[in-house]
Amino acid sequence: MARKPSVRQLIDWDHRHLWHPFTQMQEWEQEEPLIIERGKGSYLIDTEGKRYLDGISSIWVNLHGHGHPTLDRAIKRQLDKIAHSSLFGLSNPPAIQLARALIQIAPKGLTRVFYSDNGSTAVEIALKMAIQYWQQRRPDAGPKQTFLHLRLAYHGDTVGAVSVGNIELFHSRFKSLLFPTLEADPPYCYRCPLNLTYPSCQMACLDPIEQILKEHHRELAGFIIEPLVQAAAGMLTSPPGYLKRVRELCTKYDVLLIADEVATGFGRTGKMFACQHEGVTPDLMAISKGLTGGYMPLAATLTTDEIYQGFLGKYEEFKTFFHGHSYTGNPLGCAVALANLDVFKKEKTLARLQPKIKTMARLLRPLRGLPHVGDIRQRGFIAAVELVEERRTQKPYPLEARMGHRVTQEARRQGLLLRPLGHIIVLMPPLSTDVSTLARMMAILHRSIATVTASP
Ligand SMILES: Cc1ncc(COP(=O)(O)O)c(C=O)c1O
């Protein structure tokens, strides 16, 4: 076996050979990388043994903490049987059991599970299913070939997912690759596009959406939305009743509702799925991230029997959904996802989360006293703090000021790992984080914002 490389060597090889996501590598190469070697509970531990609080659940995936014995065991047990066999013309026990378990906890009416391996592919699959469904099941409904989505939406980085996204900084370079879509303003209450205030606005932002649906429903295959929390946009929380109204509009205008629960699924908002807060069943639902408790790359697209039926027919009718990935239904991923759902039950994760959500709200309140905190948003165990250069006018910091980056660097020095969304700081700890650990995270967050925003 090769000799274990030293930390120096790892740093050197990282700088020479790795290309990190969403990272300016010129800057990266000049810094000492933080190399995480181990994890325990809400902590990540680097190659020097230094412990850091995982304030964003390792990019919003971890739920029950790192190194959870039930999840560890599930992978080891499955590994004793087989690591991978495919779902192309075959099946495997964990994939079958997980599909059944997911249907039991999903919004009522979702009956089928199509696996893939990350959030972007789960979204791509939903888009492709929607397009093919209309062609095969309802050709009379119109040439339904495009999608409606919200501005600032983020549904992943593959080309289809980028087409229904709208984050200028990430997406503008790829415009030539993208298919045309229709866009509407999001319910960004802090910076309301209509200059109104909730609740007196009566959610007037839904009127332009209804107008688009009225005018374009014959072209629209679906409306894709991040339910309750538009995550990468900066954790924009929609007002109560907004999602339910979107569901009603989609039904009224015969447009499929696609819920992207990649970030919001698996307890983050306080219920298993965000849609369940408003009794909404989407026609298609994309899940990933928390599906395996943050252990393995696995994703799924769930849909209704109505959609599924549209794909049935004799082979020579070619109604098959011609889509699949080498690792579709990977048994290791499915086994750990099943264990994840077991932990939810055994540890009463959702019931135990409710008081912690309240504590989070209480601990967020004092941040309002900081002069550069413009807005604080929370939904369930997801929090975001929007920093502004000037509170009175809500003037944002310029991107070049890298305020979010500077705050998260300071938090890292103090032992808390975060990742900003521009000048918005996100806190999204594992659901298992206890109250005292949460308080420690909050205290560091407060100190870091105070320190960094105090200096120009
Ligand atoms: C709402 C939403 N959809 C899709 C994705 C893409 O998931 P992945 O990074 O696994 O491709 C993300 C990732 O952050 C997300 O937040």
In a mutational test of the pocket of ligand 1, which residue from 120, 159, 238 has the highest number of ligand atoms less than 8 Å from its CB? 120
The larger pLDDT score, comparing residue 189 to residue 141, is at: 189
Pairing verdict, β 284-287 and 299-304 = antiparallel
Nearest alpha carbon to residue 324 among 351, 304, 301: 301
The DSSP-derived string for 78-133 is HHHH-S---SSS---HHHHHHHHHHHHHSPTTEEEEEEESSHHHHHHHHHHHHHHH
The pLDDT tens digits of the residues spanning 387-435 come to 999 999 999 999 899 999 999 999 999 999 999 999 999 999 999 999 9
Q: Which atom of ligand 1 is nearest to the CA of 297?
A: 10
In a mutational test of the pocket of ligand 1, which residue from 57, 62, 154, 268 has the highest number of ligand atoms less than 8 Å from its CB? 154
Q: What's the CA-to-centroid distance between 160 and ligand 1, angstroms?
A: 13
**High-pLDDT (> 90) share of the chain, %:** 96
Q: Residue 138 — pLDDT band, cuts 50, 70, 90?
A: confident
The edge-to-edge listing of strands for the beta sheet with 299-304 is 110-116, 299-304, 284-287, 256-260, 220-225, 146-150, 182-184
Task: Identify the pLDDT of residue 145.
Answer: 95
Residue 2 has pLDDT above 90, yes or no: no
Q: Atom 7 (ligand 1): residue with closest C-alpha?
A: 119
Q: Residue 1 — pLDDT band, cuts 50, 70, 90?
A: low
Q: Please state the rounded mean pLDDT for residues 33-43.
A: 98
Q: Atom 8 (ligand 1): residue with closest C-alpha?
A: 119
The pLDDT tens digits of the residues spanning 40-52 come to 999 999 999 999 9
In a mutational test of the pocket of ligand 1, which residue from 237, 258, 262 has the highest number of ligand atoms less than 8 Å from its CB? 262
Task: Identify the pLDDT of residue 101.
Answer: 98
Residue 142 has pLDDT above 90, yes or no: no
Beta bridge partners, 184, equal 150
Q: Which atom of ligand 1 is nearest to the CA of 232?
A: 16
∠ CA(173), CA(405), CA(427), 5° rounding?
Answer: 105
Q: Under a CB-based contact definition with an 8 Å cutoff, are residues 54 and 274 in contact?
A: no
Residue 138's alpha-carbon distances to 20, 219, 222, 290, in angstroms, are 44, 13, 13, 34
Residue 456 has pLDDT above 80, yes or no: no
Using a 6 Å CB cutoff, which residues line ligand 1? 118-120, 123, 154-156, 226, 231-232, 260, 262-263, 288
Going through 391-423 in order, the beta strands assigned E by DSSP cover: 395-396, 416-417
The pLDDT tens digits of the residues spanning 82-118 come to 999 999 999 999 999 999 999 999 999 999 999 999 9
Radius of gyration of the chain (CA): 22
**High-pLDDT (> 70) share of the chain, %:** 100
Going through 234-371 in order, the beta strands assigned E by DSSP cover: 236-237, 256-260, 284-287, 299-304
The pLDDT tens digits of the residues spanning 150-192 come to 999 999 999 999 999 999 888 889 999 999 999 999 999 999 9
The pLDDT tens digits of the residues spanning 250-271 come to 999 999 999 999 999 999 999 9
Task: Identify the pLDDT of residue 169.
Answer: 86
Residue 443 has pLDDT above 80, yes or no: yes
Task: Identify the pLDDT of residue 154.
Answer: 97
Nearest alpha carbon to residue 216 among 247, 245, 180, 186: 180
Task: Identify the pLDDT of residue 71.
Answer: 98
